[in-house]
């Protein structure tokens, strides 16, 4: 009988080819201490953090920390079970009501992780008689939710309303319903969905639309509700999902809708029914951060100032960037080995970004992915740009100084 891990031999070989025997791997990097939302100790050295998705920089928010501590003392460390088994804490209800108010939706449901939010919402909304059309560049949690649903799954070209229209037109008679799933801000390249055009297609075909606002929540829109708010189509989006682990600075997820029967997911979505519910400290801290996002639009202003500064600086240096300005700034590199080398050199020089390699990247591109935070100071962005410039010249990625 074969070793149960033999199926991963190609993956193991590829890892060795790219990284050798070094421990300098993205998943092996150990943060010894967080000094702030933008700085950490790694290997005893202070590192600038440009790969955290901490868009609003609120992980050290004093009110959120104090709320979490109070919840720990009053409610303990965890819920030790699912809500369908162990019941609902008042904090669950308070947080769901807060999300419903913030999003101006009839119902909101909270989940233990953002991954679970997509897994539960998609598999709860769609079943074997339904059809799901999913943007080709969607997150793994979306694809896994589609698989769990048992629905027929059809991919359409990334951010292409015309391709979605063609594929919907070819469906013919569908026994059940049709669900279209897209993201707001796509996390690899930093591009956004053309929601008005997609909504028009969905409306014309009588389908349902779910938008995953994981990376766009708190970032887009006058009130921070996401890309649908920013593009003026909130009422045409039937379901919205998102995560606590980006702008909300915690771990968890949410989904919301105006559909009067949305609560049925609580007894229909297996990932919700059979997963332990969010911890008291998490719910309390997210309540505090959600309230702050609502009252401080200047957080978004600082974030966008920083995003424009980093994007413009990298473009001026001559790097190829993946998309127009957004809080995700992706540098496209010529191949995997160059990307790995550049990532290692940046880390050695004190700047941490995300390394993103095929097959989990759009178009199988090799990327260095930076995420900007409202907490970044201008001098930190200038330091990152200077480091990118040195590494770029060293690896012949940008032109030398005249």
The 3-state DSSP class for residue 155 equals strand
Catalytically annotated residue among 187, 216, 257, 277:
187
Separation between Cα atoms, residue 64 and residue 44, nearest integer Å = 28
CB-based contact 125:268 (threshold 8 Å): no
Catalytically annotated residue among 158, 215, 238, 311:
215
SS (H, E, C) 19-85: HCCCCCCHHHCCEEEEEECCEEEECCEEEEECCCCCCCCCCCCHHHHHHHHHHHHHHCCCCCCCHHH
DSSP per-residue letters across 103-134: HT-SEEEEESSHHHHHHHHHHHH--TT-EEEE
Instruction: Clarify whether 246 is annotated catalytic.
Output: yes
Note if the bond before 359 is cis, omega within 30 degrees. yes
Separation between Cα atoms, residue 117 and residue 164, nearest integer Å = 24
Catalytically annotated residue among 92, 139, 158, 246:
246
Element (H, E) at 356: strand 354-356
Which residues lie below 8 Å from residue 57, measured CB to CB, with a gap of 6+?
A: 37, 38, 299, 373, 374, 375, 376
Look at strands 131-135 and 239-243 and give their pairing. Answer: unpaired
Q: 313: how many CB neighbours lie within 10 A of its CB?
A: 18
Instruction: Clarify whether 205 is annotated catalytic.
Output: no
The residues carrying an active-site annotation are: 187, 215, 246
């Amino acid at each position: 009988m074969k070793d149960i891990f033999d199926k991963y031999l190609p993956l193991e070989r590829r890892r060795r080819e790219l990284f050798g025997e070094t421990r300098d791997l993205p998943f092996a990097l150990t943060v010894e201490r967080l000094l702030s939302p933008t700085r950490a100790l790694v290997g005893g050295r202070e590192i600038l953090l440009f790969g955290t998705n901490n868009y609003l920089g609120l992980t050290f928010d004093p009110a959120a920390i104090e709320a979490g501590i109070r919840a720990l003392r009053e409610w303990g460390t965890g819920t030790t079970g699912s809500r369908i088994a162990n019941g609902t804490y008042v904090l669950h209800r308070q947080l769901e009501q807060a999300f419903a108010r913030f999003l101006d939706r009839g119902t909101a449901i909270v989940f233990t992780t953002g991954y679970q939010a997509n897994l539960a919402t998609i598999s709860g909304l769609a079943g074997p008689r339904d059809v799901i059309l999913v943007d080709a560049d969607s997150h793994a949690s979306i694809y896994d939710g589609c698989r769990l649903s048992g629905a027929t799954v059809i991919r359409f070209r990334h951010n292409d309303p015309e391709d979605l229209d063609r594929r919907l037109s070819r469906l013919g008679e569908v026994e059940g319903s049709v669900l279209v799933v897209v993201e707001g801000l796509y996390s690899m390249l930093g591009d956004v969905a053309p929601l008005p055009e997609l909504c028009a297609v969905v409306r014309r075909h009588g389908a349902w639309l779910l938008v995953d606002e994981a990376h766009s929540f708190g970032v887009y829109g006058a009130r921070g509700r996401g890309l649908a708010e920013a593009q003026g189509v909130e009422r045409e989006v039937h379901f919205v999902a998102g995560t606590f682990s980006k702008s909300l600075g915690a771990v968890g997820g949410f989904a919301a809708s105006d559909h009067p029967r949305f609560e049925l997911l609580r007894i229909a979505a297996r990932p919700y029914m059979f997963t332990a519910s969010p911890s008291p400290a998490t719910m309390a801290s997210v309540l505090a951060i959600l309230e702050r996002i609502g009252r401080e639009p200047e957080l978004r202003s600082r974030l966008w100032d920083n995003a424009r500064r980093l994007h413009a600086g990298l473009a001026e240096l001559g790097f190829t960037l993946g998309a127009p300005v957004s809080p995700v700034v992706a540098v496209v590199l010529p191949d995997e080995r160059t990307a790995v080398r550049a990532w290692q050199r940046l880390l050695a020089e004190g700047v941490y970004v995300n390394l993103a390699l095929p097959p989990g990247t759009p178009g199988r591109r090799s990327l260095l992915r930076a995420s900007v935070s409202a907490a970044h100071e201008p001098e930190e962005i200038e330091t990152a740009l200077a480091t990118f410039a040195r590494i770029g010249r060293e690896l012949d990625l940008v032109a030398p100084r005249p």
